[in-house]
């Protein structure tokens, strides 16, 4: 985070990895309960010439839908240079047990692009490379005005992950006290609140910027979580300030997209798609509503879904993939969802020729108040989605045959220069339609828009659930791999040249793999990590390419003059031994001095092996 200093009225850069406090407590407050839609954001520093500075910085953000994260603009932007999407790594945390601060497992999320608000303000949106499926996303409020918050002296809480070496979610809280001009983003305002230190609130620290500011103090969260009203952008040990989401409604509203998945039909004239609606209130509030209904004697404990949705109606758009990026000729289909997860059948024109192998693009956009004639949020001036992937995540499918899901690439020990590629087979409700698969592959540093020049290999299914094929590769390069089903005499999803259609085949459908590269590590190579004895939550993180295709092994050298590095021994007080995040101490087994020593990470995949240099961990 960049902290606001009341003494000097200047910003002080406090989230460099080199400045992190060895015993920092994340906002200085107590551990917060697990909130899956709050994420930790890492990015490496670069100078104006684009050269790495060797520092790793962090901030906090929150998922407002399956594809979008909101955070503070200053957290990923520096004077003279804007951080590129490839410089950003996002980690989502999932609790292993129900206890606050318990060991966490993590999922690495990759940023595809950065969206800037058209109005001035310390707010930015990160678009993910592929969707993240959660039961619920941040319950944002786009209605609250600063005058309303002040008039009722609104109590608020801020949640954040703090410095790069901290992996515990913390909280601080207070009561809204003033609205002032933002001294660093002229023409915009921020809302200030002092921390309620007498009642145990903490104060902010480096890495807290971008954290969600929510209505209500944390001591009543168990009954009603409240809505997210802002993004924390300034703070000290005494007070903090946040950007009000309602000031950027036109920017945020199009990001509130439902999550889509595809399913299969028995007919080539129907497209089936599942819609996961966005919730505008937390599961805590839904449970409270259910309890109230029971208490009132209704006997019906089911949650009232329509009272907890950001939008009640949506509009599907679907077009043939062969039409290209434009959605101008897409068909539209209005729906009013009656359940949190619901399957819809989108009718195709039976008068037009259709085949089992034809590929379709499908998206859905929320519709604002006013029914059929109301605004389609996120659409262009013609009411249709914007070209390409700019408007929303979209799925590609045929009516009756699913696309294979790429699974993994494994090294063929006995065959140097060869790798075994495995994918899950397609589903198909009509037996005998799928004759086999064609694997397309080519050197590519990212998922290609065009597959011109790719190699291909056709094979029958090698088992009931999956198919594997061995191909030659140059392990010094990165490869993109895509498998498509052979339906009748055609390969589904290919154009007249027999190549995959240009455009957005997604991660999951496309496997991107090369030799693992450690982009950065914090603490840096050869540095010291100070861990407070009997604490938990401090750790080492390595950002490694091709995360989902790697195996990770942390190794320890307890005595410089002792045996070689080893992964053997007692790791009960350390979590993440088989991941790129190694955290010292858990609530049940806090950090202990016996785990002092040198640690390094070994990363392996089908294309190669890499080891980090050592980090010395000092626990006292």
| Count of structural domains, the chain | 4
Same structural domain, 177 and 53: yes
Boundary residue ending a domain (188, 221, 248): 248
CA distance 313 to 332: 13
Please determine, for residue 449, whether its predicted confidence score (pLDDT) is greater than 60. Answer: yes
Shared-domain flag, residues 554 and 497: no
| Boundary (domain end) residue, out of 248, 276, 311 | 248
- Asked if 509 and 527 sit in the same domain, the reply is no
Residues 143, 202: one domain? yes
The CATH number assigned to the domain holding 462 equals 2.60.40.10
Do 19 and 145 reside in the same domain of the chain? yes
pLDDT number for residue 265: 87
Mark whether 191 and 295 lie in a shared domain: no
Beta strands (DSSP E) in 223-336 are 228-235, 239-244, 259-263, 270-276, 313-320, 331-336
* pLDDT tens sequence across 120-176: 899 999 999 888 888 788 988 888 899 999 998 999 999 998 888 888 888 899 999
Judged against a pLDDT cut of 80, whether residue 287 lies above it is answered with no
7 and 69: one domain? yes
pLDDT tens for 210-243 read 999 998 766 544 334 578 999 999 988 889 999 9
The pLDDT confidence band at residue 296, using thresholds 50, 70 and 90, is low
Contact 556, 565 (CB under 8 A): yes
Domain range enclosing 430: 405-513
Cα dihedral sign, 371-376-382-388: negative
Spacing of C-alpha 21 from chain mean position:
27
Question: 266 and 232: one domain?
Answer: no
Q: What CATH number is associated with residue 158?
A: 2.40.10.10
- Whether residues 313 and 219 share a domain: the answer is no
pTM of the model: 0.86
Q: Are residues 37 and 178 in the same domain?
A: yes
317, two tokens: 């758009």
- Identify the top-confidence range among 194-198, 233-237, 467-471: 467-471
User: What are phi and psi for residue 594, nearest 5 degrees?
Assistant: -65, -20
269 with 170, same domain: the answer is: no
337-376: pLDDT as tens digits: 887 788 999 999 888 888 877 899 999 998 887 655 688 9
Note whether 201 and 101 are same-domain residues: yes
Secondary structure string (H, E, C) spanning 500-552: ECCCCCCECCEEEECCCCEEEEECCCCCEEEECCCCCCEEEEEEECCHHHCEE
End-of-domain residue from the set 248, 265, 285: 248
The span from the first CA to the last CA of the chain, in angstroms, equals 27
Over residues 62-82, mean pLDDT: 86
């Amino acid at each position: 985070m960049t902290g606001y200093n009341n003494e000097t009225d200047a910003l002080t850069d406090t989230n460099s990895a080199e400045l992190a406090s060895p015993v920092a407590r994340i906002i200085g407050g107590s551990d917060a309960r697990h909130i899956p839609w709050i994420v930790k954001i890492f990015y490496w520093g670069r100078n104006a010439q684009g050269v790495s500075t060797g520092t790793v910085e962090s901030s906090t953000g929150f998922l407002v839908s399956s594809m979008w994260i909101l955070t503070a603009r200053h957290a990923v932007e520096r004077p003279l240079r804007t951080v590129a999407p490839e410089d950003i790594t996002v980690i989502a945390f999932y609790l292993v047990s129900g206890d606050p601060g318990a060991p966490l497992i993590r999922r690495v999320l990759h940023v595809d692009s950065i969206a800037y608000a058209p109005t001035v303000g310390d707010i930015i949106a990160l678009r993910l490379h592929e969707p993240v499926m959660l039961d619920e996303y941040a319950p944002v409020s786009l209605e609250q005005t600063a005058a309303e918050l002040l008039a009722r002296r609104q109590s608020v809480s801020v949640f954040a992950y703090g410095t790069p070496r901290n992996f515990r979610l913390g909280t601080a809280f207070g009561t809204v006290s003033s609205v002032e001009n933002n001294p660093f983003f002229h023409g915009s305002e921020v809302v200030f609140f002092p921390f309620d230190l007498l009642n145990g609130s903490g104060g902010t620290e480096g890495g807290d910027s971008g954290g969600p500011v929510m209505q209500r103090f944390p001591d009543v969260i168990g009954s009603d979580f409240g809505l997210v009203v802002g993004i924390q952008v300034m703070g000290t040990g005494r007070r903090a300030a946040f950007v009000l989401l309602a000031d950027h409604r036109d920017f945020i509203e199009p990001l509130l997209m439902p999550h889509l998945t595809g399913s299969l039909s028995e007919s080539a004239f129907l497209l089936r798609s599942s819609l996961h609606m966005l919730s505008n209130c937390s599961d805590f509030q839904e449970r409270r509503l259910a309890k109230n209904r029971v208490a009132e004697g209704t006997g019906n404990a089911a949650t009232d879904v329509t009272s907890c949705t950001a939008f009640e109606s949506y509009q599907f758009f679907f077009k043939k993939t062969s039409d290209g990026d434009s959605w101008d000729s897409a068909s539209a289909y209005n729906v009013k969802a009656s359940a949190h997860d619901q399957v819809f059948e989108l009718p195709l024109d039976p008068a037009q020729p259709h085949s089992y192998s034809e590929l379709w693009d499908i998206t859905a956009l929320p519709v604002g108040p006013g029914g059929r004639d109301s605004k389609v949020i996120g659409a262009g001036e013609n009411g249709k989605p914007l070209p390409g992937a700019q408007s929303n995540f979209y799925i590609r499918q045929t009516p009756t045959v699913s696309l294979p899901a790429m699974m993994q690439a494994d090294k063929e020990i006995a065959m140097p220069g060869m790798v075994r590629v495995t994918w899950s087979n397609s589903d198909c409700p009509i037996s005998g339609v799928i004759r086999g698969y064609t694997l397309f592959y080519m050197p590519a540093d990212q998922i290609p828009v065009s597959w011109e020049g790719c190699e291909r290999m056709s094979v029958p299914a090698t088992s009931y659930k999956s198919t594997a094929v061995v191909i030659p590769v140059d392990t010094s390069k990165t490869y993109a791999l895509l498998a498509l089903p052979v339906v009748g005499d055609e390969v589904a999803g290919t154009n007249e040249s027999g190549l995959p259609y240009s455009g957005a085949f997604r991660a999951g459908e496309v496997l991107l793999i090369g030799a693992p590269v450690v982009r950065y590590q914090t603490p840096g190579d050869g540095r010291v990590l100070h861990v407070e004895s009997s604490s938990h939550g401090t750790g080492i993180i390595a950002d490694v390419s091709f995360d989902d295709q790697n195996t990770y092994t942390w190794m320890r050298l307890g005595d410089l003059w002792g045996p070689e590095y080893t992964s053997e021994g007692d790791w009960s007080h350390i979590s993440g031994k088989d991941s790129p995040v190694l955290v010292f101490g858990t609530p049940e087994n806090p950090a202990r001095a016996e785990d002092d020593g040198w640690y390094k990470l070994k990363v392996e995949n089908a294309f190669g092996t890499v080891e980090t240099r050592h980090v010395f961990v000092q626990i006292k």
